[in-house]
């Protein structure tokens, strides 16, 4: 497999990352996951824009234009002959003798590599179970940071409880999933947390909100509580890898009819039609 290292394509065996890379020592970096459908990068521009925004927020300068970056991603997919899969790309502040403050003369380190991946069609059909977990993350969840301890601890706890995803909440308020956004539907209206510093504004989320406009589904970007979540008619999550994923049970309590809801299904169909 070919890996992108800065602006060079190399083989995995040739990859050499410093023990003092700040991504490794501090989680001092950012990342993106971009979906590949039929050899095409899905919503690549949106992911690239968000990557550059995250970089700016942590004060790292990406040493390529967005066009060059796009071309590198495209070549990576082509060279590895990926039909259906994803590209993982991360950028760290680079390597320097360990110190907390930014070093003055490091060069950022970019790594990107693809992976084959099928769509989770079976789970999309049956729906999944989720578990409420207190959101203990920092207050800049809008940055797609490599610091994911709050996320992975929550996901692990959900997994150990036999659940597919953690539904994070700050006090009573539902924010998002450990690696996804969360939505409830009540009386035909879709509710989801506003795109503030408390969530990552998912690219899939943006696609879904556009699809709602097309389908005439009213959207309220309003935070809702755990209690309100349990009383929704339908509930689902979204991310680059899970698309529109129905949630049919939360903390062992059935949501709606306990099967993927009608509007959730409609959104799944519209999402799929949008891929072509």
Interaction site with ligand PDD (CB under 6 A): 33, 151, 176, 179-181, 200, 202-205, 238-241
Q: Which is nearer to ligand PDD, 95 or 199 (CB)?
A: 199
Of 144, 155, 266, 276, the catalytic one is: 144
Q: Is 144 a catalytic residue?
A: yes
Euclidean distance between CA atoms 247 and 141, whole angstroms: 22
Cβ closest to ligand PDD, residue 54 vs residue 180: 180
Closest separation between CB of residue 96 and ligand PDD, Å? 26
Q: Measured from the CB atom, is 151 or 268 closer to ligand PDD? A: 151
Q: Is the dihedral of CA 24, 30, 35, 40 positive or negative?
A: negative
Q: Are 201 and 224 a contacting pair, CB within 8 Å?
A: no
| Residue with smaller CB distance to ligand PDD, 2 or 31 | 31
- Residue 187 DSSP SS3: coil
Burial 55-87 (b: 16+ CB within 10 A, else e): beebebebeeeeeebbebbeebbeebebeebbb
Q: Which of 92, 111, 87, 90 is nearest to 33 (CA)?
A: 87
Cβ within 8 Å of residue 59, ≥6 positions away? 102
- Cβ–Cβ < 8 Å for 163, 177: no
Q: List, by residue number, the catalytic residues.
A: 144
């Amino acid at each position: 497999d070919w890996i992108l290292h800065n602006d060079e394509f190399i083989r995995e065996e040739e990859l050499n990352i410093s023990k003092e890379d700040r991504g490794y020592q501090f989680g001092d970096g950012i990342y993106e996951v971009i979906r590949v459908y039929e050899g095409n990068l899905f919503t690549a521009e949106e992911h690239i824009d968000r990557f550059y925004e995250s970089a700016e927020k942590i004060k790292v300068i990406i040493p390529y234009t967005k066009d060059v970056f796009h071309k590198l991603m495209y070549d990576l997919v082509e060279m590895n002959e990926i039909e259906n899969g994803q590209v993982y790309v991360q950028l760290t502040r680079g390597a320097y003798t360990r110190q907390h403050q930014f070093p003055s003369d490091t060069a950022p380190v970019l790594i990107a590599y693809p992976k084959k991946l099928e769509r989770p069609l079976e789970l999309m059909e049956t729906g999944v179970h989720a578990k409420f977990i207190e959101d203990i993350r920092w207050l800049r969840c809008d940055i797609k940071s490599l610091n994911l301890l709050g996320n992975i601890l929550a996901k692990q706890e959900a997994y150990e409880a036999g659940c597919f995803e953690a539904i994070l909440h700050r006090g009573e308020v539902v924010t998002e999933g450990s690696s996804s956004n969360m939505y409830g539907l009540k009386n035909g209206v879709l509710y989801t947390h506003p795109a503030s510093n408390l969530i990552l504004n998912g690219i899939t989320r943006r696609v879904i909100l556009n699809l709602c406009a097309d389908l005439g589904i009213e959207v309220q970007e309003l935070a809702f509580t755990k209690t309100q979540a349990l009383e929704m008619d339908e509930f689902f999550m979204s991310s680059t890898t899970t698309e529109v994923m129905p949630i049919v049970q939360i903390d062992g309590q059935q949501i709606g009819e306990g099967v993927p809801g009608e509007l959730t299904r409609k959104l799944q169909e519209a999402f799929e039609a949008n891929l072509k």
